[in-house]
Amino acid sequence: MQGAIRSLQIRDFTPSHEGFLTIMDRMMRPALNLGQAFERKAKAAFP
């Protein structure tokens, strides 16, 4: 019985967890893109 309850909790938790990861991804991606662009400019300026 306890195993069934645990799997139910995990299933309830999954959507919000995926949503959180999506939010993190959406926030981090622009910062990563900015970092890569800056890195390219730095390499071009200082070979």
Q: Tell me what pLDDT residue 9 has.
A: 56
Q: Tell me what pLDDT residue 31 has.
A: 84
Give me the DSSP letters along 1-47: -HHHHHHHHHHHHHHHHHHHHHHHHHHHHHHHHHHHHHHHHHHHH--
- Residue 47 included in any domain: yes
CB atoms within 10 A of CB 21: 10
- Residue 37 included in any domain: yes
- Range of 30's domain? 21-47
> pLDDT tens, position by position, for the chain (47 residues)?
566 655 555 555 555 667 777 877 888 888 888 889 888 988 888 87
Q: Tell me what pLDDT residue 25 has.
A: 82
- Residue 33 included in any domain: yes
| pTM reported for the whole predicted model | 0.40
Q: How many Cα atoms sit within 13 Å of 13 on the Cβ side? A: 6
Q: Tell me what pLDDT residue 1 has.
A: 53
Distance of CA 14 to the CA centre of its chain: 15
Euclidean distance between CA atoms 11 and 17, whole angstroms: 10
